[in-house]
């Protein structure tokens, strides 16, 4: 939800002006027909009234129904830092709504001695104002694809880690193997690749499935790619070390091939360092 809140803060003056204009445009007796207002304006999640003693005086009205179970509940803790403006309106800071789990705002209007509260869905509000582009169907399809892909990657990663562990324990309890050095390096490489793929799957799941993202942050994809490349280079370095040891022990005439492999791995490492340097130089830094 960070992108939504940042979009709101960037356009806070315009959004707050729209909300105040909207509230002031409502009929004076709008509390007599709240369901019509809630259903007509999709960015309104909930609506209810509170009396001068900060006790809930009306049901909680939503698009689907109304809930009278909380009438009489004390709401004073919500009004401790309430500061009304000249129009007798208060707009809260963004927060995550406890019922919907969406980024939200609360608006309070004082009419007479009663307070009327509107819980606003910030995503729908910003979309209606054309400040963000959000398509729920596309988002659900995207999440489903990423969920399936990241799950399969995680399964592959676990299989690689399990295979590496299997080789290690097989060596541990059976030291009569003909190629101990090769098998122990195979175990290390398998587990290293498994961890790299699992980390990639975790990054995809966290950023694309668990948390909504309305635009790609400038460095998020680079961080994911960089962490994956680091794990791959580590695996290649281990493989290179294994090849060098095998050639040194068995056939030194192939040492030139091992040297080429070592040069290739070093070039990849240098390329990764240049990649990080370029990203850091191109990322704007906040002023202190």
Decide: 168 and 215 in contact? Cβ < 8 Å. Answer: no
Q: What angle do CA 279, 285, 288 make, to 5 degrees?
A: 155
Q: What is the pLDDT of residue 266?
A: 87
Distance (Å, whole) CA 236 – CA 227: 14
Decide: 171 and 180 in contact? Cβ < 8 Å. Answer: yes
pLDDT digits (tens, 9 = 90+) for 160-213: 999 989 888 888 877 555 677 778 878 887 888 888 788 888 878 877 776 554
Average pLDDT, the chain: 80
Q: What is the pLDDT of residue 215?
A: 47
Model-wide pTM > 0.75 = no
For residue 207, the 8-state DSSP code is I
pLDDT digits (tens, 9 = 90+) for 84-112: 888 889 999 888 887 777 888 999 999 88
Of the ranges 107-111, 185-189, 223-227, 259-263, the best mean pLDDT one: 107-111
Q: What is the pLDDT of residue 286?
A: 47
Confidence of residue 285 (pLDDT cuts 50, 70, 90): low
Of the ranges 228-232, 243-247, 258-262, the best mean pLDDT one: 258-262
Question: Which secondary structure element, helix H or strand E, spans residue 116, and what is its range?
Answer: strand 114-121
Q: What is the pLDDT of residue 118?
A: 92
222-259 as b/e: b if 16+ CB within 10 A: bebeeeebebbbbbbbbbbbbbbebbeeeeeeeeeebe
**Residues 53, 23, 10, 4, CA torsion sign:** positive
Decide: 257 and 285 in contact? Cβ < 8 Å. Answer: no
Of the ranges 39-43, 155-159, 204-208, the best mean pLDDT one: 155-159
CATH class for the domain made up of 1-129: alpha beta
Distance (Å, whole) CA 155 – CA 161: 10
Average pLDDT over residues 148-152: 91
Give the start-to-end residue ranges of the domains of the chain: 1-129, 136-282
Give the number of other Cβ atoms within 10 Å of residue 212's Cβ: 18
């Amino acid at each position: 939800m960070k992108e939504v809140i940042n979009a709101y803060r960037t356009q806070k003056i315009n959004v707050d002006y729209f909300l105040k204009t909207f509230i002031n445009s409502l009929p004076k007796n709008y509390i007599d027909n709240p369901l019509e207002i809630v259903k007509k304006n999709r960015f309104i999640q909930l609506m209810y009234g509170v009396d001068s003693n900060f006790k809930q005086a009306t049901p909680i009205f939503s698009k689907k129904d109304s809930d009278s179970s909380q009438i009489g509940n004390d709401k004073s803790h919500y009004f401790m830092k309430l500061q009304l403006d000249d129009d007798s309106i208060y707009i809260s800071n963004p927060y995550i709504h406890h019922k919907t789990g969406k980024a939200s705002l609360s608006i309070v209007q004082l009419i007479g001695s009663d307070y009327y509260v509107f819980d606003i869905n910030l995503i729908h509000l910003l979309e209606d104002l054309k400040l963000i582009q959000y398509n729920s169907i596309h988002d659900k399809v995207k999440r489903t694809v990423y969920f399936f892909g990241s799950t399969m990657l995680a399964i592959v990663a676990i299989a690689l880690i399990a295979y590496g562990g299997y080789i290690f324990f097989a060596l541990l309890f059976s030291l009569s193997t003909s190629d101990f050095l090769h098998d122990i390096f195979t175990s290390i490489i398998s587990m290293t690749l498994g961890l790299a793929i699992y980390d990639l799957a975790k990054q995809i799941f966290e950023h694309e499935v668990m948390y909504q993202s309305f635009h790609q942050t400038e460095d998020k994809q680079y961080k994911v790619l960089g962490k994956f490349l680091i794990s791959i280079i580590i695996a290649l370095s281990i493989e290179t070390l294994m090849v060098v040891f095998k050639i040194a022990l068995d056939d030194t005439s192939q040492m030139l091939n091992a040297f080429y492999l070592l040069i290739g791995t070093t070039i990849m490492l240098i390329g990764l360092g240049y990649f990080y340097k370029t990203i850091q130089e191109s990322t704007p830094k906040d002023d202190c």
